[in-house]
Amino acid sequence: MTVLEAIQKSTEFLAKKSVESPRLQTELLLAHLLKMPRMKLYLNFDRVLLPVEIDSLREIIKRRGQREPLQHIVGSTSFCGHEIAVSRHALIPRPETELLAELGWKFLATRHSPLATALDFGTGTGCIAIALAAKCPTAKITALDISAEALALAKQNALQNQVAERIEFLLGDGFAALTDKAQFDLLVSNPPYIASAEIETLDPEVKDFDPRGALDGGADGLDFYRRLATEAKPFLKSDGKIMLEFGDGQADDIKIIFENEKWIVEAVQEDYSHRARILIARHG
Ligand SMILES: C[S@@+](CC[C@H](N)C(=O)[O-])C[C@H]1O[C@@H](n2cnc3c(N)ncnc32)[C@H](O)[C@@H]1O
């Protein structure tokens, strides 16, 4: 079987399994398998695959057909230019969250204290904390999570990306993980925000492979925003900012939650698909 024939056959199989963008997914998996950039496949369409390559391709296409996310199969994803290892213990970093990280590092860069500080609440793979540490070479980041397995993965990712010495990792339930009364310049979070009953309606890649604890935001999806609005102020410097990602259609409710707790909502930022996605607020 040639590369082109393998692509055609696998694409057909994934399409039957209702996988989105089946041709792209096939090409990405085959490129990963053959250790070449995807575009190079196009120069190799006539190359005959070895039997061992066909077996491996069959195996990974089968996994993708069972709706295992591509990132789990290849073992990593890219976030703000950093390679981030992924596993079933942490949410796969999403492209929308890169915008949150970018807003975060742009704000941190304006801080004139010798050591700007940020707290990443619910760090998962560590993607946001790592991006902040990498872009702000003098900043000190604290990353907390309730999942010990996620935190272990985040530490490994920080080491791989050479920023581990500037990130402190803390295990615990929200702010209870903090051992001292630290006050941060920036508080950043992409908390679980799916309404519990909605989780079952999500794509299999999400509901069966992202950890439930990374998705479940309680009955209406807003539990973490209520919690952050009531608990976060003592941990934020008086001129610091909180930046939070949220889901589709949640902007108005979250704005009200924060304003009711006497925060000043500075902005609700849209993502690249023009969906309201990030709340930026400060002390009232
Ligand atoms: C939506 S994921 C975000 C992960 C990562 N920051 C990202 O943007 O890809 C939410 C994270 O919050 C963590 N989490 C859930 N409840 C928590 C709690 N009570 N305290 C601390 N972390 C929590 C989950 O384990 C998960 O890693």
Average pLDDT over residues 233-237: 97
pLDDT tens for each residue of 237-264:
999 999 999 999 999 999 999 999 999 9
Q: What is the 65 CA–ligand 1 centroid distance (Å)?
A: 28
Helix, strand, coil share (%) of the chain residues, nearest 5: 45, 20, 35
pLDDT at 179: 82
Q: What is the 145 CA–ligand 1 centroid distance (Å)?
A: 6
pLDDT of 284 higher than 90: no
From 95, 100, 179, select the one nearest 142 (Cα to Cα).
Answer: 179
Ligand 1, atom 4, lies closest to the CA of 124
pLDDT at 181: 81
> 112 or 31: whose pLDDT is higher?
31
Mutation test residue for ligand 1: of 77, 120, 123, 231, the one with most atoms within 8 Å of CB:
123
Average pLDDT over residues 143-172: 98
Q: Is 191 in the pocket of ligand 1 (CB under 6 A)?
A: yes
pLDDT of 180 higher than 90: no
pLDDT of 67 higher than 80: yes
Split at pLDDT 50, 70, 90, the class of 27 is very high
pLDDT at 112: 74
pLDDT tens for each residue of 263-281:
999 999 999 899 999 999 9
pLDDT of 199 higher than 80: yes
Return the CATH architecture of domain 89-283. Answer: 3-Layer(aba) Sandwich (3.40)
Distance CA 70, CA 63 (A): 9
Which residues on neighbouring strands pair with residue 117, listed in sequence order? 140
Split at pLDDT 50, 70, 90, the class of 136 is very high
Average pLDDT over residues 40-46: 97
DSSP string, 189-252: E----B-GGGGGGS-HHHHTTS-HHHHB--TTS-HHHHHHHHHSGGGEEEEEEEEEE--TT-HH
Mean pLDDT of the chain: 97
What percentage of the chain reaches a pLDDT higher than 90? Answer: 96
Q: Is 150 in the pocket of ligand 1 (CB under 6 A)?
A: yes
Distance CA 52, CA 56 (A): 6
DSSP string, 65-102: HTT--HHHHHSEEEETTEEEE--TTSPPPPHHHHHHHH
Q: Which residues contact 86 (CB under 8 A, 6 or more apart)?
A: 71, 72, 75, 76, 77, 92, 93, 125, 153
8 Å CB contact between 150 and 123: yes
Q: Is 221 in the pocket of ligand 1 (CB under 6 A)?
A: no
Q: What is the 247 CA–ligand 1 centroid distance (Å)?
A: 14
Q: Label residue 36 exposed, middle or buried (CB < 10 Å: 0-12, 13-18, 19+).
A: middle
Nearest atom in ligand 1 to the alpha carbon of residue 129 is 6
Sheet holding 263-270, edge to edge: 167-171, 140-145, 117-121, 184-189, 236-245, 276-283, 263-270
Average pLDDT over residues 149-153: 98
Segment among 114-118, 148-152, 174-178 with least mean pLDDT: 114-118
pLDDT at 114: 77
